[in-house]
Every structure is written in structure tokens, then in C-alpha cells.
A and B are shown apart, each in its own frame.
Chain A
């Protein structure tokens, strides 16, 4: 095969093309000018120019979450890289496969405190799955190959490739490696058969079983086998914030989300069960609350996860199964179907009745109002108007929890939010990433007046790329979740949580060339949402500024440090 001599910048571009990259989200600057020059004369992928590097990484992250493919971002050295850090850390906490290419000052200038120099590999080391500094043009292609491989296999995560400017100007032969193998990185795929059989035995004999599914089910594309298994066993199932959509929320076996703002039935079932099957979840603080309280009830725990380090990290596991979720669930299903003994499904009936009683508390009920808009009502109506089939992105805070509670997801990869890092400002760039991936889909960004202002500049990107996302702003003039904690735990001292001097969001949207609505009356919720998602505004970005009840709180709530069964319910107050 004849190989070509091309520049380092062209090698970068060709490598991205070889990986099937569809979108590169980025922002040019000195150290990446050679790469941008190579982008100028290529047509295979589309470059999406954002207005701040943080948004480039968030948008690429959302593209990855919505599609399952590797998201790609390109930023310059120094401030370009540091601006990207929040986005990278966000993707890292939620295990999102991404490759970030950053420019670096020329190799001879590294360490000289050159203009726009920073130690990008050093700064990003704790918040990436892996990173590389490429100092040799002959290693650009193989490094990018490794980066995509590492990002997308095992427990996924962001991988950063830092490339000095001089390397991108040199020339070398281009040969894109077909395969990659690393002696130090061999992620486990198949779960251990002995452990799977042990798990099955425990599951079949469970009297009070619960399945607890997490983000790993969505990331690992394991919705189908999970649904299959749940249906075979007829067990109740709950999900973490990140796992929503992994099992259809409309199924009666679904107990709703668990955790700090989980449903009463999900948290009670989690606490009281005798057998817990955790799938692609990590028992984090917002999910099980106080681990000592959680462990005060004896139960057998089976944990399926691709990351051995997630097992027995916060809670000791009885039957760990390290493996890819799809493979492991399929093995478990096969083992169940091959099981020759008798599975008496009646033994869990008393438990299902107990759960039914918890459900009847109707913990998500809220008092609607004729004068003031209730945020929950907006989300319920949004679900109605979009027929439950939209891509929903959110920022972080009360609106995020209400979105998770009142917009039930039946499909995976529809709910795009920052669960681990809890990054305010992700909502709008997340919506952009989803809309680019699925141009014809309905995409709504559920946000608040505080979060949206953290990446509001991206309204300009929406205009340039004709992204008809609908922004559902639940405007309560407070950083709502901060206010809620101050009300509950700081004696109503609302330190700096009031959002003063807000812009007129309608005019702001209009000045960016979009459509804006301000909605103040509950009776207008539905008609305005119908208009926003209707055929007339199909091609437009719409900013819906809902003026909502300032005093509304998110319930149920497990206070920080408390146990799952120690929830505060709306009816308690």
C-alpha cells in the first residue's frame, strides 16, 4: 500500500475521519491553527463552532450520551484547555466516551511559560480516563487510535490528546493503524460463570428482591437484556438518576428513581429488600444515603459492573460479577432459562403487596394552583405535549430533579444530564449536541434562570447552526436547590441564593434571533408548549421563560447523611 506524506495537522484530521467522526465541537486558537487550517479543506465531518470551550466539551459529551458514539472536541492550549476542564470532569464523572484534542505550545517552548501555555496533561490528569502528550509526529495517528479505543471500551471515559503546534506543521507518512492492543489495558468483558450461577440461585430464592439499575445500563446499551430479565423474574426495579430510561418507566414493575429525591416506594424497597441486584450502578452517596444506615438491614447484594473498582467501594458486595452488562445479563438470562428447578414466583407476592402500599402514598403528588405556575406541572405538560418522546437535557438543581421525577422515560439515551459532577450550565450545550445528532427529534432543555446563565452565550451557536432546541426555563428567581437546603438546614437564611438583576429572557432570546415567551399563568402552560413544539416553530430555537412558584421544594428528600427510609415527604410539612 502506498502511504502519503502529509502534515501533522492533516494526520489529526485524517485520524478523526478514520474513526468515523461526524462532529467536532471546538474553538480555534494559536496552538491549533494548523489543525484548523486542515479542517478548512475537509468535508467529511462538520465542525461546530461554540462560543466557549466548556460548551464544546459539553456538546460533544451530549452527542456521545445520545448516540453511544465517541464525542470529539478540539480546543487550543492554555485557556482553551482550562476552559474545557469543567466539561472533561463532567464527562469523566458520568463515564462518557470522548476524545478531546488540545493544542499545546511548540515542543521547544514547553516549560518556558510561553504565551497560552499550561500543563494540560497535568491539569486534566485527575479528570480523564487517560491522556497523552504527543511529542513525535509519527505517533499522532497511533495515539489517536489508542485514545478512541480507551475512551470507548471498558468503563468509558474522556481521553485527552495534547499536541504541540510544531508537530502539526511537520510532515510524515500517514498510516492509520487497523488495530490497537495495550499490554496494560485489557478490560474484562465476560462475567464469571460461577458467580452468575451463584447470583441466579440467590435471585430465585429471594423473598423481597429489588433490581437497582444505573447509568452503566444506558452506557452499555443493556436496556433490552435488562428488560428481558426483569420480565422473566417479575421483580420490582428502580433506577438511579443516570439509569433513567434503561428500563421503561411506564412499566408497572418500575418503582421510579431512588436516592436523595427518589420515590418513597423505591427508597423503602431498597432499604427493606432481602436481595439486591445492582446493575451498572455504584452505590454513591446520593443513591444510598448513609452507608451505615443502609447496611443496618441485612441483605444479599449481587453487583454487576464492568469496573472492578466500583465493586465493594462503598458497600461490601456478596456476589460481585465483573463484566460487560450486556454479556453478563444475557448469561444470567440463559442460566435462568436453563434452570431445571422450580422458580416459585408466588413467594414474592407479600413483598409486592408491601410495595403496593408504599406506592399508594403517591409521594410525587403536588398541589396544583390556578394562580401560580407549579414547576412540576410544566414538566408533566411537557411530557404530554412531546408524547414522552423528546430528548430531555437538564442543568443542575431543583429543575433537574423535577425533570427526573415528572418526565418518565421509556427509552435509554433520552435523558441527558450531569449526574456525577452536577455541572450547572450543561443544559443548553447538551441540547445542542442532541439536536445535531438527531436533527428531526424534539429536544428540550429543562433549566432554571441560574443554570441557564452559565452557558447562555450558546444561544448564538444555536442560531448559527439552526438548532431548534426548546429551552424550558423554570424561573423561580432563586438558585432553587440552594434555597431549599437553606430553608431546611440553615434556618431560612437565604445567603446569596436570590437571583437578582435577571435579564428579560424573551428580549435576550430575540436579540440572538430566537423566539421568546414569558409564561406567568398556569392556564397558558399547555398552549404555549404546544405552540413551541408545533409546526410553526419547528425550525426555531424557542426560549420559554416560565415564572414559577418561588417556594416550591423537591420531595421526597433524604437529608444529607440520613438513611434511605428517613425521607422527608411533602405531606410531612
Chain B
């Protein structure tokens, strides 16, 4: 099953490689991983999207907690949460497709952020599955380039990950 794991870690050089090294050394999957400093510059927040059986996820959480630089770990799937991912897509938008591209972008609440004679670049945010759905709705030939940030997640209401 797909899990989104949030963690806070010391914002130190090499901290990211401790996490990615753990996943490769123990053969865990990483679907996506995003990291950036928090409002407290001594801490980084990381969101890892992974998948595995309950036992594997339990081990992942325990192994992450074991890393000395990791301060807190939360499996967002243990409760209610929100996830968002940002995607930039460059699509073919020549004469006959231009209107259709605009309409499709609107349906998915995308924003056209760059325009050229033959292309649109569309900014889209949402859950990873929404972004997948958008890409599926496009004609394969229409996609020129995509770039995704990977999911970020946060607990709903008073589910808080903080030091």
C-alpha cells in the first residue's frame, strides 16, 4: 500500500543521503522524496512516498527513527491528511489544439504560465493521483515535457508534526 511519511530532521549536510541510503540499503521503495528547510532553519522537513506491506512500512518507520539525525517521523496514512504535488507540463498547443488545451487545463484548475507559438506550459497542483489523471487525459503525443515535485503532505486539524 502507498504511504506518505513525513519527517523532521537536523538540517545538516549529508542528512538526505542518510535517508536515501537507508532506503536503497534495505531495498525499500521510494516513489518520491521532497525536502526543504522549515521555518526553523535548523530543521528540514521531508516527505517520502513509499509503498510496502504493513510489516515493511513498520520497519521503514523504525529504521528512520533509528537515524541519529531524524528528530520526528509520522506516517500520514495513520490518520487524516492532505497531500499536494506541483507539476509543470509543457504541451503542444498549435492552432487546432490551442483551445482544447486551454479547456482541459481549466477543468483541472491548471494555470497557463508560459505561452509560445506552439506550446503552453501549465502549472498544476493537487494530489498525485489528480496529476496522473490530468496526464492520462492528454493525448500522449501532446506532452512535450513534465516535471513534478513529488508529494508534500500535512496532517489535518490538530495532527501536527513539530519539535
Q: Chain A residues in contact with chain B, CB under 8 A?
A: 121-122, 125-126, 129-130, 133, 150, 182-185, 307-309, 311-313, 316
B69 A309 Cβ-Cβ under 8 A: no
List residues of B (67-100) whose CB comes within 8 Å of A's CBs. Answer: 68-71
CB-CB nearest 10 A-B residue pairs: A309-B62, A130-B68, A184-B71, A185-B68, A126-B25, A308-B62, A309-B66, A309-B63, A125-B21, A183-B71
Q: Chain B interface: which size bin?
A: 20 to 34
B14 A125 Cβ-Cβ under 8 A: yes
Tally of A-B residue pairs with Cβ under 8 A? 39
Q: Which residues of A contact B55 (CB under 8 A)?
A: 312, 316
Task: Tell me which of A126, A133, A309 has the highest count of chain B C-beta atoms within 10 A of its own C-beta.
Answer: A309
Please report the C-alpha to C-alpha distance between residue A313 and residue B62 in the assembled complex, in whole angstroms.
Answer: 10
Please report the C-alpha to C-alpha distance between residue A501 and residue B159 in the assembled complex, in whole angstroms.
Answer: 68
Question: With A184-B9, A311-B62 given, can you name 14 additional A-B contacts, CB distance below 8 Å?
Answer: A121-B14, A125-B14, A125-B17, A125-B18, A126-B25, A130-B69, A183-B163, A184-B68, A184-B71, A308-B65, A308-B66, A309-B59, A309-B62, A312-B58
Query: A308: nearest residue on chain B (CB-CB)?
Result: B62
Q: Which residues of B contact A308 (CB under 8 A)?
A: 62, 65-66
**Given A125-B14, A184-B10; A150-B68 close (CB under 8 Å):** yes
Partner of A307, one of B9, B18, B66, B71: B66
Please report the C-alpha to C-alpha distance between residue A166 and residue B109 in the assembled complex, in whole angstroms.
Answer: 56
Query: A121: nearest residue on chain B (CB-CB)?
Result: B14
**Given A183-B163, A184-B71; A313-B59 close (CB under 8 Å):** yes
Q: Which residues of A contact B21 (CB under 8 A)?
A: 125-126
Please report the C-alpha to C-alpha distance between residue A121 and residue B17 in the assembled complex, in whole angstroms.
Answer: 11
B14 A184 Cβ-Cβ under 8 A: no
Task: Tell me which of B55, B62, B68, B71 has the highest count of chain A C-beta atoms within 10 A of its own C-beta.
Answer: B68
Please report the C-alpha to C-alpha distance between residue A464 and residue B100 in the assembled complex, in whole angstroms.
Answer: 84
Please report the C-alpha to C-alpha distance between residue A45 and residue B105 in the assembled complex, in whole angstroms.
Answer: 71
Query: A309: nearest residue on chain B (CB-CB)?
Result: B62
Convert B1-44 into 0s and 1s, putting 1 for each residue whose CB lies closer than 8 angstroms to a CB of A: 00000000110011001100100010000000000000000000
Nearest CB of chain A from residue B64's CB, rounded to whole Å: 9
30 CB-based A-B contacts, threshold 8 Å: A121-B14, A122-B14, A122-B17, A125-B14, A125-B17, A126-B21, A126-B25, A130-B68, A130-B69, A133-B13, A133-B14, A150-B68, A183-B163, A184-B9, A184-B10, A184-B68, A184-B69, A184-B70, A184-B71, A185-B68, A308-B62, A308-B65, A309-B59, A309-B63, A309-B65, A309-B66, A311-B62, A312-B55, A312-B58, A316-B55
